[in-house]
Structure 1
Amino acid sequence: MKEELLKFCWNQLNQKSSNLKQRSIELKESLGSETKSSAGDKHETGRAMVQLEQEKLGKQLLDLDKTKATLQKVNVAKNSSKIVLGSLVKTSTANYFISVSVGLYKTENFTVFCISPGTPIAQLLLGKEQGGMVSFNGNEIVILEVL
């Protein structure tokens, strides 16, 4: 199961990377096709906005690279009784895969939130063991299983 979750995380990140790279190409084309018009200020404003979008995109790509670096550290073959990066945690309220934040993994019988170690719930769970409890948003959560 953890292998499937890891693959899901990689697929999500690769899809996001592909979308960002496509957007970058579109912005470069847009910047190249900006023609000087008689309204010079309008032209300069358009170019500046495209350049701002490119900078924002660059930051998103850097953040994505950091996220990928975190995911590379996930070792799904390692089993630990304590919750660590790469743990699949079944609780009384939800299931969590401590890896990177890419959303919900859902099959017909199983739903898992893929979350990063920096999320509030992961911060509470890290280092805990099966049978432990944490309090989150006023709810008592029992750790049923750590895989």
Structure 2
Amino acid sequence: MTVVEIKSELLQHCQKQVDNRFSRIKQTIADIEESLLEESKSSSGDKHETGRAMLQIERENAGKQLQEIEKIIPLLKKIEVAATSDYARLGSLIYTDKFTYFISLSIGTVPLGKKDYLCVALNSPVGLLLSGKRKGEEFNLNGSSYKITSVK
């Protein structure tokens, strides 16, 4: 696989994760709305009010999650898989002596072919350590030293 093909596959995997999470959150909100309607039809005093309050809190939490995912969507669109750079940045594949990182979203390990790639966000602890680094540079993470062998 070429670097562009690898980046494309990894980006598609990230997009799928975002789409799935977005769908789950939207479904959760729809379920909460339906439950709120059901609660409105019920009139069992304090129990009724407690149930409504709990549903309102759940709806607020789901709304916050939706806002977070909506911030991620434009970030994914900024990743140009064909772009190359000699330093680590959003969309870079960073090969180290231990792991290969794809700076995109923090979704963890993604197996492609016979190799695993660690997808990390630019603003994550690992992403911040990698950002701006070039081939030959080193960084320390959790007491381990890593040497960058290539940036694509």
Aligning the two structures, in what range does the TM-score lie when normalised by the shorter sequence? over 0.9
Residue 37 of structure 1, CA deviation: 3.3
Residue 101 of structure 1, CA deviation: 1.4
Residue 108 of structure 1, CA deviation: 4.2
- In structure 2, which of residues 102, 120, 128 is the aligned counterpart of residue 123 of structure 1? 128
Structure 2 unmatched ranges of 5 or more: 1-5
1:36 has 2:42 as partner: yes
Residue 57 of structure 1: aligned partner? 62
Secondary structure at the counterpart of residue 101 of structure 2: strand
Residue 3 of structure 2: aligned partner? none
1:11 has 2:16 as partner: yes
Residue 74 of structure 2: aligned partner? 69
Residue 135 of structure 1: aligned partner? 140
Query: CA separation in 1, counterparts of 2:109 and 2:62?
Result: 24
RMSD: 1.1
Kept after mapping to 2: 8 A contact 1:13/1:102: no
Secondary structure at the counterpart of residue 149 of structure 2: strand
Query: CA separation in 2, counterparts of 1:120 and 1:37?
Result: 50
- In structure 2, which of residues 104, 107, 110 is the aligned counterpart of residue 102 of structure 1? 107
- Mean Cα displacement is larger for which, 10-19 or 90-99? 90-99
Query: CA separation in 2, counterparts of 1:126 and 1:103?
Result: 17
Which residue type is aligned with residue 135 of structure 2?
Q
Secondary structure at the counterpart of residue 65 of structure 1: helix
Residue 130 of structure 1, CA deviation: 1.2
Which residue type is aligned with residue 30 of structure 1?
S
% same residue = 41
**Residue by residue, what CA displacement relative to the aligned partner does 1:22-64 show, whole Å, maximum 9, x if unpaired?**
11111111111113333x0110000010011000000000000
Query: CA separation in 2, counterparts of 1:98 and 1:104?
Result: 12
TM-score by length of 1: 0.94
Structure 1 unmatched ranges of 5 or more: none
Query: CA separation in 1, counterparts of 2:112 and 2:78?
Result: 25
Which residue type is aligned with residue 55 of structure 1?
E
Secondary structure at the counterpart of residue 129 of structure 1: coil
